[in-house]
Amino acid sequence: MPNIRSTSTEAFDNLISQKVATLPPSGIRKFFDLLSSIEDVISLGIGEPDFVTPWHIREAGIYSLEKGYTMYTSNSGMPELRQELACYLELHYGVSYNPEHEILVTAGSSEGLDLVLRAIINPGDEVIIPDPCYVAYPADITLAGGMPIPVPTDETSNFVVRATDIEARITKRTKAILIGYPANPTGAVMSKKEADAIAELSRKQDLLIISDEIYARLIYGAEHICFPSLPGMKKRTILISGFSKSHAMTGWRIGYVAADRRFIQALTKIHQYTLLCAPTMTQMAAIEALRNGEGEVEKMVQEYNRRRRFMVKRLNEIGLPCFEPKGAFFTFPSVKATGMHSEDFAEKLLLEQKVAVVPGTAFGPSGEGFVRCCYATSLPNIEEALRRMDRFVSKGTRRSR
Amino acid sequence: MKEIFEILEQNARATPEEISTMVDKPVSEVKKRIRQAEKDGTILKYKAIINWPRLEREDIWALIEVRITPQRGVGYDAIAERIYQFPEVYSAYLVSGTYDLSILVRGKNMQEISSFVAEKLAPLEQVQSVVTHFLLKRYKEYGEAFHVPKETNRRLPITP
C-alpha cells in the first residue's frame, strides 16, 4: 500500500495510471523545451494558422458576452449552429446530416476524436492508422483502451495510405480505420480513387471509418474527398472536423462530429458527462463563421497557396526534395541527402541556424528521413528560414566532403 | 492575373521571381504583365507607407467637405480636377450625401491649411461652401494601422 503522503517517485508513480504513465510524451515536447532557450528563432514548427480569427467572428464572440450568453447550451450544441453545420456540409460536400440527431458540437475536433474512440473501442480493439500521422491518433487510441495499428506510408505514394496495405493489417480485432486527409504532418491529400478503394475495403470487411477532415478547406488545386459523401459510406463513417484551421480559430476550441444517429447518441453520452457543452461564446462565434466567413476563408487559402508554392520550390532548390503537398499547411521534405536522421537534422538546424522544424519521427517511425515545415507564417519569415536552411544544407555538404 | 497585383499591393517589393513562384506562372510572363501595367497606368506608382508620427514629424491633416455646383457637360469632374491638382490635396473623392467632394489635405501646419482653404479652395467660383475638419489622430491608412506596436507572436513556438 503506497503512502500517499510520500513524495518519493515510486509512490508518486503508483498514483498515476499505468496507461498514462507508460504513454510516451509527444515528440514535439522535447523541441519545445530546447526552443524556449534560444532567441530569434524562426519557427516552421507551429501547427496552427498565423492569421488572427477574422474580426467579424471575434466580434460575434464579443457580442455574445456583451449580451450575457454565459450559460450552458444543450449538450449537443446550439440548434442554430447544428443547423448551419448541416447546411455547410450539404453545400460543400453534398452530404446531408439531420442537425437534430446526427451532429454533435465539440470543444475542438480533438474532443471529437477522443469521444469517438472512447465510444467505439472495447479493450484490445485495434484501430488502423497511417504512419506518420497526427500525434494524437495513437495516444488517444491507447487511452481509450485500444491498440493503434500503424500502416507505414512513404514518398512513393506521397504518404497516402493504400487500401492494400490496410487490408494486410486487418485482424479479427480491427474495429476502425482512422484517417485524416489533408494530412498533418505531410500535407498529403487523398484522391477519389484512393478513397474509393478504402471505402470498398471498409464495406467488404464491415469496418468503421473515422475521417478527421479538419484541414478539408485548406486544399490547393485538388478536390477534397469528404469520406461520408462516398456511396454507401455515410452510415459507416464518423466525420470529425472543426473551425480551427479553416477559420483560424484554434484557441476557441470548437469542432463537431457528424455521423449516424447511433454514434452521435453514444458520443453525446460521454460528452454530457465530461464537457457538458462546447463554450457558448465560441458556439456563437462559429455560427457567424459559417454564415459570413467564406470570403475570409478563401482569402486565407489563397495566401497559404502562395506561400506553399514558394516553400515547395525553394525546398527542392536547396536540395531537400519535397513532393507537392496539396492540402493543410505543411510540407514534408526529405532530409536523407544530408545523411542526417530527422532528429539530428532538426536539432542541428535549430542550434546552428535558429530555424525550428519538427522531425518526421515525432509523427511515427515512417517519418524518419523527413521533417515537417509549416508555411503558416509570413512570407518574409519563410524566405529567411529557407535562406538559413540553404546555408545549413550546403555547409553540411561541404563538411562531409 | 489579378493575383499579381494583389501581391504587389501587399508588398510592392515582391520580385517577379517571387511572384512567379507564388502564382505558378513563368517569370517572363509576370515581368511582361508588370511592365504592361506600369505602362498603361494599372500600376500608378510604388510607394512606401511611412509611419511619420514615429519620426516625430506630424503633419497637419484636414478632411474638408466641399459643396460644389456641377457644370454643364462635365458635371463635377472639371471642378474636381481643378481642386485635386493642388499639391496640398492628398486624396479627393466625389461622395453621395449632403456635400459633394470629400478631400484630404495635408499641410506642415494649421496656417498652411487655412490659407489653402481661404485663398485657393473657397474662392473658386463653383465652390458653394467648405467645412474643414482637422484630423486629431490617424489610425489606419491603406489597410495598415499606425500607432500599433508590432504585435509580438502569440503562438507557441512549436505545436502539433
For the stretch B83-106, pLDDT in tens is 999 999 999 999 999 999 999 999
Residues in A closer than 8 angstroms to B7, CB to CB, are 306
Phi, then psi, of B134 in degrees rounded to 5:
-75, 140
Interface of A with B (CB under 8 A): 26, 28, 31-32, 35-36, 41, 43, 45-48, 50, 134-136, 184, 302, 305-307, 309-310, 313-314, 356, 358, 379, 383
Residues in A closer than 8 angstroms to B17, CB to CB, are none
Looking at residues A285-290, what average pLDDT do you find?
98
Candidates A45, A135, A310; nearest CB to B22: A310
Residue B149's pLDDT band, with cuts at 50, 70 and 90, is low
Residue range A221-253, pLDDT digits in tens:
999 999 999 999 999 999 999 999 999 999 999
Candidates A28, A307, A309; nearest CB to B158: A28
Candidates A309, A313, A356; nearest CB to B158: A356
Candidates A36, A134, A356; nearest CB to B160: A134
Tell me, what's the pLDDT at A12? 59
Residues in A closer than 8 angstroms to B3, CB to CB, are 302
- CA atoms in the 13 A half-sphere facing the CB of A196: 4
Helices (H) and strands (E) in chain A, counts: 14, 12
More confident residue, A35 or A242: A242
Residue A6's pLDDT band, with cuts at 50, 70 and 90, is very low
Residue A359's pLDDT band, with cuts at 50, 70 and 90, is very high
Residue A10 pLDDT exceeds 70: no
Name the CATH code of domain B52-141 (choices 3.30.70.920, 3.30.70.20, 3.40.50.720, 3.30.720.110).
3.30.70.920
Candidates A46, A50, A313; nearest CB to B157: A46
Element (H, E) at A106: strand A103-106
A237-242 and A174-179 strand pairing: unpaired
Residue range B136-148, pLDDT digits in tens:
988 888 888 886 6
Q: Do A32 and B158 touch (CB under 8 A)?
A: yes
Q: Do B24 and A309 touch (CB under 8 A)?
A: yes
CA-to-CA dists, residue B8 to A9, A309, A378, B4, B23, angstroms: 60, 17, 15, 6, 12
Residue range A149-168, pLDDT digits in tens:
999 999 999 999 999 999 99
Domain boundaries, chain A: 11-52+296-392, 55-293
Q: Percentage of chain A with pLDDT > 70? A: 96
The C-alpha cell of A386 is what? Answer: 529557407
Residue range A364-391, pLDDT digits in tens:
999 999 999 999 999 999 999 999 999 9
More confident residue, A300 or B55: A300
Residue A301 pLDDT exceeds 80: yes
Residue B38 pLDDT exceeds 70: yes
- Best interface-test mutation with B: which of A41, A46, A322, A375 has the largest number of B CBs within 10 A? A46
Spatial separation of the C-alpha atoms in residues B70 and B72, rounded to whole Å: 7
Residue range A86-107, pLDDT digits in tens:
999 999 999 999 999 999 999 9
Tell me, what's the pLDDT at A14? 82
Tell me, what's the pLDDT at A262? 97
Q: Do A32 and B11 touch (CB under 8 A)?
A: no
Question: Does domain A55-293 sit in CATH 1.10.3720.10?
Answer: no
Residue A199 pLDDT exceeds 90: yes
DSSP per position, chain B: -HHHHHHHHH-TT--HHHHHHHHTS-HHHHHHHHHHHHHHTSS--------GGGGT---EEEEEEEEE--BTTTBTHHHHHHHHTSTTEEEEEE-SSS-SEEEEEEESSHHHHHHIIIIIITTSTTEEEEEEEE-S---EETTEESSPPPPPP-S-S---
8 A C-beta contact, residue A63 and residue A284: yes
Cis-peptide, bond into residue A359, ω within 30° of zero: no
Residue A7 pLDDT exceeds 60: no
8 A C-beta contact, residue A272 and residue A120: no
Tell me, what's the pLDDT at A1? 42
More confident residue, A7 or B80: B80
Looking at residues B20-37, what average pLDDT do you find?
95
What average pLDDT does the structure give for chain B? Answer: 91
Residues in A closer than 8 angstroms to B23, CB to CB, are 306, 309
Tell me, what's the pLDDT at B146? 80
Looking at residues B3-18, what average pLDDT do you find?
94
Element (H, E) at A216: none
Residue A2 pLDDT exceeds 60: no
Q: Distance (Å) from the C-alpha of residue A114 to the closest C-alpha of chain B?
A: 16
Question: Does domain A11-52+296-392 sit in CATH 3.40.1390.10?
Answer: no
- What does DSSP assign to residue A348? H
Q: Do A379 and B11 touch (CB under 8 A)?
A: yes
Interface contacts A/B by beta carbons within 8 Å: 52
